Structure formats: structure tokens, C-alpha cells
Amino acid sequence: KKAQFILTGSSARKLKTGHDLNLLPGRVVMLTMTPLLYQEFPEPRPKLDDMLLYGTLPGIATETDHQMQETDLYSYVTTYLEEEIRAEALVRNVGSFTRFLEVAAGEAGKQVSFTRLSQDVGVTDTTIANYYQILEDCLIVLRIDPLTHTQTKRRLIKSPKYLFFDLGIRRACANEGTQLPQKIIADLFEQFVGTELVYYSQLTSPQIKVRYWRDAAGPEIDFVLDMAHHYLPVEVKWTDKPDLSDARHIVKFMSETPQAEQGYVVCRTPRRYKIADRVTALPWQEINFLFHK
């Protein structure tokens, strides 16, 4: 059947926080429109490197001219993000928020320290927390909360991580060019996998939550799918031949967590293969496989 869509100009923050909105309880279903998932692209699909740099927003990702993509990305940041914040009077000091936006984009995917960011931006840590909440309400960042309960004596990290909803927008906010070192590309690959996991979880079931796990002493799992009754640990590696060393934290996590029976290393391998008894190397193109088990 054909569908008719009505697109309005109401800000996401107003819709989420408005007290006078009548959302017709019982008659409204909340659906999320995301950037394109890799499997949603028509053939020929974009190259991985292009998606890491230019993102997956439909009108930008399908543009073949990189210069036009750059123009569109920076226009989005200046005409939407910054103007939206200014128009809605969400912050008192737009200059501080603009500095925060650049720093937050550079810190995407990392464990957040509000205190450290407050020193970089020149505002209080309470203001930094408020700025992140604004980005969340405007659907610009995705919050990744940690798993904090354990059956061992481990001291687990409790700070959240944030991913930008689109990697092209993240790069424009960070004011980065396109010639990036491999370490940053590897970090972007991890963020790309993280956003795909979040979007697939939203499409699959509201009960699935994407989290991460980190011991203060060092061991960390990039992402853990919290599927209500069991956990699915996922590590992300910028390699095409992951080995047991790449899966060691997954093995440790599963040995201490009875609810975790299988683990995956998402990487650039062309095919699935077993790394350990219960750990599989998974091509990044097959992330959707994790949600159909």
C-alpha cells in the first residue's frame, strides 16, 4: 500500500519535552527515522571509507561529488544545528555551545568525563551535562550507557559514551578534514558499527539496549547487546584477520557472565569464521545477523 507522510517543522526537543502537547495516548506509535543502514542502500552500495567520512544521510551519501557532500554537511551543521539551538534559546552562551559541539564531536565514542570537557570548553561540568542532554533531545547524539552490575568484584566504569547520529555530521562538527590518520579511521569504524547496532535495535525491539562494558582496570567490550534475558558482547576491530588476542576480553566477559553465551568480533573479514569456542569473526556488512538469531 502507498503511504502518505506529513513532515512538520516542530523541533525534536519540543516534541520530547513539551508539557502541553496532546500525543493522543493509545493512538500514537513512536517510530524513529534514522540515516540509512548499510543494507538499505541500493546497489552499488557506498564504500566503507566514504561512509566513515561522509555518513549515511540519504541526500548526502548518494551524492557522487565529494565537494558537494562537504558543502551539504557543513551547511547542515551551520543552518540546522547551530541555528536550531540559537532559535530555540536552548543555551545562554551560543559561543560556548559551539566550542562544546566541536569538542564533543572529537570525543565521540569515548568514555565521557564532564569535568575534563568543562575545562576544555570553559564552562561548568553541570553545563556540559546540560549540553549533552540538549544534543540527546535534538536527536544529534546517541547515549550508550554502561553495564554496571557484575557477579564479580570488578570495579566497572559508570560514565556513558555518546555517538553522533551520523558520522558525516560528526566530522563536520569536529571541523575535521578528509585526510585522517588510520587510528582515527579505526575509531570511526567502531562508531559506525555502534550506530548500526543502535539503529537495528530500534527497528527490532524496544527491549534491546546497546550498552558497553569496561573494568576500571582496563578490560573493555566495545558494545554489549542487552537482550533482556541474555547479553551479546561485540568487539570492533579494524582488521580483516582477527585472532584470539582480539577476542580475549569477550572470552573473559563470557567466563564471568552466564547470560552471555556467544560473542562476536565485527571486522573487515570477507567471511564469518570461528576465533574461539564461542566467539565468531563477523563481516561488518552482516551486522543485521546479530538481530535475527
Cβ–Cβ contacts within 10 Å for residue 90, how many? Answer: 18
Residue 239 has pLDDT above 80, yes or no: yes
Residue 216 has pLDDT above 90, yes or no: no
Most confident of 39-43, 90-94, 191-195, 212-216: 191-195
Between 24-33, 51-60, 271-280, the lowest mean confidence (pLDDT) is in: 24-33
Average pLDDT over residues 195-210: 95
pLDDT at position 34, please? 92
Please list the alpha-helical segments (H only) found in the chain: 12-17, 48-54, 58-61, 66-75, 83-87, 94-106, 114-121, 125-137, 167-174, 182-204, 248-256
The grid coordinates of residue 22 equal: 496532546
Average pLDDT over residues 205-232: 91
Average pLDDT over residues 236-242: 98
Three-state SS letters, 21-35: CCCCCCCCCCCCCCC
List the one residue out of 42, 56, 33 whose CA is nearest residue 192: 56
pLDDT at position 195, please? 98
Residue 19 has pLDDT above 70, yes or no: no
Angle value at C-alpha 36, between 188 and 77, nearest 5 degrees? 65
Distance between CA atoms of residues 206 and 198, nearest Å: 11
Q: Provide the pLDDT confidence category of residue 18 given band limits of 50, 70 and 90.
A: low
The string of pLDDT tens digits covering residues 256-289 is 899 999 999 999 999 999 999 999 999 999 999 9
The string of pLDDT tens digits covering residues 68-112 is 999 999 998 988 776 777 666 566 777 888 899 999 999 999 999
The string of pLDDT tens digits covering residues 148-193 is 876 666 777 788 999 999 999 999 999 999 999 999 999 999 999 9
User: Any idea where the domains of the chain sit in the sequence?
Assistant: 12-291
Strands 209-214 and 220-226: antiparallel
Distance between CA atoms of residues 205 and 290, nearest Å: 13
Count of residues making up the chain: 293
Average pLDDT over residues 28-32: 73
pLDDT, the chain, mean: 89
pLDDT at position 168, please? 98
Residue owning grid cell 558497553: 212
The string of pLDDT tens digits covering residues 113-156 is 999 999 999 999 999 999 999 899 888 999 999 988 766 667 77
pTM attached to this predicted model: 0.90
Q: What percent of the chain has pLDDT over 90?
A: 67
Q: Provide the pLDDT confidence category of residue 212 given band limits of 50, 70 and 90.
A: very high
